[in-house]
Structure 1
Amino acid sequence: MLLKINADNPEGRKINQVIEKLNEGGIIIYPTDTVYGLGCDINNQAAVEKICRLRRLDPKDAMLAIICKDISQVQEFTQQIDNPTFKLLKRNLPGAFTFILPAAGSVPKMFRNRKKTIGIRIPDHNIPLQLVEGLGRPILTTSLKSDDEILEYFTDPELIYEDFQKLVDIVIDSGNGGNTPSTVVDCTQEKPIVLRLGAGMLEFS
């Protein structure tokens, strides 16, 4: 299903329709403040496994990420965040970042890679934030990569639907997405390390 949702003022009925599908174990493609992503309920192991197969990811090695609604929810799925890291998150989120943090025991087993870390996103985009809010728990997020030689990521939701309509349950169309992924910041060391420079410009103070 291709479902048009207004990015600035998402229609509640349509958001609830997507949440219902997530609760059923469905897989969705949805917009973020960077690129379109593949997602599902983090508690549905079958859905997570299917996304890993679609993206050819090994959960034991992959740095899987989740979308949270706010920093309070981030703290539910990570080990205790020290004060400098908390300030860094507070200053830069919501925003175009994936912060790598030590995973807490509450993180589903599928997400516990060998490094025992988890990627955290709070995108500056109404649709994924409202989905997480309504679902009551985070959703898996992984970028929707393209095989195109020019565009690394899918940007046109109608073309996304053409390619993925038989592989996912819902493709959300909120207009063209970007082609630059999030900036990835490793916060598991003594000082934050930028592993991938993307759309977000990190502010420290």
Structure 2
Amino acid sequence: MSQLFYVHPENPQVRLIKQAVDILKAGGVIIYPTDSGYALGCTMENKRGLEKVCHIRNIDKKHNFTLACRDLSEIATYARVDNQAFRALKSNTPGAYTFIFKSTKDLPKRLMNPTRRTIGIRIPDNVIALALLEALNEPLMTTSLILPGNDSTEFDPEDIRDKLENQVDLILHGGYLGEAPTTVIDFSDDDVVIARVGAGDITPFQ
């Protein structure tokens, strides 16, 4: 059975954030709040955790996984970002966007799309998520919590607990959130492509 932490949405308790980081570093899979509903997360090195995430979402290794980052300084290590794309990120982060880039050699192969060799990058506009990433001190392997058969992200942490309490190690209860997933902007080729319209405004990329 998973643990459930009630985390203040504006002033996250340092003690609870630290405990969440300890669970992640011990190989745990967590559910945490973002600006586009709840998400699943584990550390980049956690191979078994990634498999668990894939099982919960019923996705395979061809899925475009994402790294949640605390700020732009972490991105260049794992994604190839040119000046145009960097300016776009700087103007629209943090926010409800996932940006797709070609990956660098520093990214573990199991996290990149095996065909396109890409990785998603996002900086969530959520106080709890950013506190978690700051305390973790590294990007978090993440994907929106969209359960099989659904099109929207899970937004009710009590409902999430009923459905998944035996499949994850921790649920961070950060309140009831919006249901729309992130807007996905693909920078991996020469042309910028809006791959999915979600919570983020597409106007800056049209």
TM bucket (normalised to shorter chain) is over 0.9
Instruction: Tell me what 1:13 maps to.
Output: 15
Instruction: Tell me what 2:44 maps to.
Output: 42
CA offset at residue 153 of structure 1? 2.7
Letter in 2 for 1:71: L
Is 126-135 or 175-184 further displaced after alignment? 126-135
Q: Relative to 1, partners in 2 of residues 1:44 and 1:132: Cα closer, same or farther, differing over 3 Å?
A: same
Instruction: Tell me what 1:181 maps to.
Output: 181
Instruction: Tell me what 1:65 maps to.
Output: 66
Paired with 2:20 and 2:5, the residues of 1 have a C-alpha distance of 9
CA offset at residue 152 of structure 1? 3.0
Deviant stretches of 4+, over 6 Å: none
Partner SS for 1:133: helix
Letter in 1 for 2:132: L
CA offset at residue 204 of structure 1? 5.2
Partner SS for 1:195: strand
Paired with 1:49 and 1:146, the residues of 2 have a C-alpha distance of 15
CA offset at residue 112 of structure 1? 2.1
Instruction: Provide structure 1 residue ranges, at least 5 long, that are not aligned to the other structure.
Output: none
Contact 1:91 1:204 survives alignment (8 Å): no
> CA offsets, 1:6-32, max 9 Å, x none?
111111000001000000000100100
Is 83-92 or 132-141 further displaced after alignment? 132-141
Instruction: Tell me what 1:191 maps to.
Output: 191
Letter in 1 for 2:42: C
Instruction: Tell me what 1:90 maps to.
Output: 90
Identity of aligned residues (%): 39
Partner SS for 2:178: coil
For the pair 1:28 / 2:25, whether they are aligned, the reply is no
How do residues 43-192 of structure 1 correspond to structure 2 at under 5 angstroms?
43-59=45-61, 61-79=62-80, 81-113=81-113, 114-146=115-147, 152-192=152-192
The TM-score with structure 2 as length reference comes to: 0.93
The TM-score with structure 1 as length reference comes to: 0.93
Paired with 1:125 and 1:36, the residues of 2 have a C-alpha distance of 11
Paired with 2:72 and 2:28, the residues of 1 have a C-alpha distance of 26
Aligned CA RMSD, in angstroms, stands at: 1.6
Paired with 2:205 and 2:57, the residues of 1 have a C-alpha distance of 33
Q: Relative to 1, partners in 2 of residues 1:204 and 1:55: Cα closer, same or farther, differing over 3 Å?
A: closer
Paired with 2:192 and 2:152, the residues of 1 have a C-alpha distance of 26
